[in-house]
Amino acid sequence: MGLWCQCLVAVAQQLTGAYRPRGPVIEVFGINEAISFPEKFERRGVKLEVLRRLLDQQGQAAAQVGARWTRGHTVAFPRLSWDRWEREARSFARADLWLQAVQRVGLEAVVMIGPWPGNKSRDFTSRYVLQGDARERYVEFVRAAVERYDGDGLNDMPGLLRGVRFWEVDNEPDLKNSGSPRVSKRSNFCTPEQFAEIVILTARAIKSADPGARVLNGGLYRVTKEFGYRYLRDLLAVPGLLAAIDILSVHAYHTGRDAGAVELTLRRVQELARGKPVWLTETSVPAAGKESFLSPEWQAEILARTVILALAYGIERVFWHTLYDPPTEKGGERKQISAFATNSLYRKAARQAPLEIKPAGKTYRKLTQILKGIDWRDIRPIKVDRGIGVALGDGRWLVYSDSSTFRTGVPASQAQTLLDGREVAIRQRGGKIEVNGQRQALLLTGGS
């Protein structure tokens, strides 16, 4: 059995007994940190009206590509952690600004919350443990934050348009535990047991303030690697952890030639989810780098494949990381603000320059247009030689294959690439169609 036949079998097996999303498929589309402002620029000083305008511009750009959701972060923005809250005189001002910008453009929010700044917890504490007075103060912080944003009319943020329902507890515990993406050895910091204790404590505090809230675990960084996969298994085995969360959150980053790492992540998570909804709260690939195949067009192709895989595996939300690439420096050299300097949907040539949409952003937008009006009940995985696809229930299919020419059993008569809308050859052969797809994600149409 070939790899991609195995993929379809795996999909069928994992969806047996797995949670099946309901409602409009368009809700799958999110952008991680779509609305954000770097802390180092904030330290230099920024006028409130300028910051508000910048956040609104980002929100509008996210809405223009069809995003429905965004995710806040305890390190990037709005930096809603207990440690910072106490250092900043218990102020919610930054989180207020962020949520107001999110809601002004109609996005839904996932709010990350935790004791210390997400990926930088080791910079603020030597032990991933809360005890005594610190534990009580942390619970007070969580309840205050949830109460401020729950929309029940009691101590709500002024101008709140609708309540926040989704809260994610911290971020990437497996990365905290190893201390580096290049390390695959367990430490005594943020062990699965320690992280589970924080998740359970936080979830109880959240639901004591808002019983209708839904809680996500901090997304696992590298389930595609054995280190992250073992960490996830051990985390979910801690008594009380699964009961504390409503949604299982994971990430998938890679620079492989295909989307195999994403498929492996989704398959592994569905094996362990035990009927919980699964959200891919961070995923992306770079548009440039050392490997010769990296390009803006390749990035767009992997984005399309990631969405198709998510639909096939019943992944309820997918958050691309992130909205726009940081500006390039003088001489054309990109300033390495992070390791994800070319992973976004837009680019920005300079700090004051307008956002320019990349091929990935155009493909994201096209997918939101294709999936508008489609319901999850109509989504069905289909077999594609050396690839995978999904039926949309309206005589259209989204597919991709690692073969230049592939066969599939759907009654399509036309095919076009998702990246640029180019028509590709399609013909009937032996009761199936043969598509000259040139290893690109495609939209097939013409069936009944």
Q: Mind listing the pLDDT tens digit for each residue in 157-198?
A: 999 999 999 999 999 999 999 999 889 999 999 999 999 999
Name residues whose C-beta falls within 8 Å of residue 434's C-beta, 6 or more positions apart in sequence: 405, 406, 407, 426, 427, 428
Q: Which two tokens stand for residue 14?
A: 């994992």
Q: Which two tokens stand for residue 99?
A: 């949520």
Q: Are 398 and 389 in contact (CB under 8 A)?
A: yes
> What is the tens place of the pLDDT at every residue in 192-220?
999 999 999 999 999 999 999 999 999 99
- What is the pLDDT confidence band of residue 328, given thresholds at 50, 70 and 90? confident
Q: Say whether 328 sits in a helix, a strand or coil.
A: strand
Q: What is the pLDDT of the chain when averaged over all its residues?
A: 94
Distance separating alpha carbons of residues 277 and 194, to the nearest angstrom: 23
Choose which CATH entry (3.30.1490.20, 3.30.300.30, 3.20.20.80, 3.90.209.20) describes domain 18-378: 3.20.20.80
Distance separating alpha carbons of residues 66 and 64, to the nearest angstrom: 5
Instruction: Please tell me the pTM assigned to this model.
Output: 0.95
Instruction: Give helix 260-272 / helix 296-312 axis angle, nearest 10°.
Output: 30
What value does the mean pLDDT take over residues 417-427? Answer: 96
Name the residue among 283, 308, 279, 245 with its Cα closest to residue 442. 308
Q: What pLDDT shows up at residue 4? A: 47
Of the chain, the percentage scoring pLDDT greater than 90 comes to 87
> What is the tens place of the pLDDT at every residue in 139-148?
999 999 999 9
Name the residue among 84, 78, 81 with its Cα closest to residue 102. 78
Radius of gyration over alpha carbons of the chain, in Å?
22
Q: Say whether 32 sits in a helix, a strand or coil.
A: strand
Give yes or no for residue 331 having a pLDDT over 70.
no
Q: Are 251 and 283 in contact (CB under 8 A)?
A: yes
Calculate ∠ Cα 161-162-168, nearest 5°. 125
Give yes or no for residue 334 having a pLDDT over 80.
no
What value does the mean pLDDT take over residues 23-50? Answer: 96
Calculate ∠ Cα 87-90-91, nearest 5°. 105
Q: Say whether 122 sits in a helix, a strand or coil.
A: helix
Q: What pLDDT shows up at residue 186? A: 96
Distance separating alpha carbons of residues 121 and 169, to the nearest angstrom: 13
Q: What pLDDT shows up at residue 120? A: 86
Distance separating alpha carbons of residues 407 and 384, to the nearest angstrom: 6
Q: Which helix (H) or strand (E) holds 384?
A: strand 380-384
Cis omega (within 30 of 0) for bond into 78: yes
Beta 317-321 vs 29-32: how paired, if at all?
parallel
Greatest CA separation found in the chain? Answer: 72
Q: What pLDDT shows up at residue 351? A: 81
Q: What pLDDT shows up at residue 118? A: 86
Cβ burial, residue 443 (10 Å; 0-12/13-18/19+):
buried
DSSP-based helix, strand, coil % in the chain, nearest 5: 40, 20, 40
Q: Are 142 and 167 in contact (CB under 8 A)?
A: no
What value does the mean pLDDT take over residues 117-133? Answer: 94
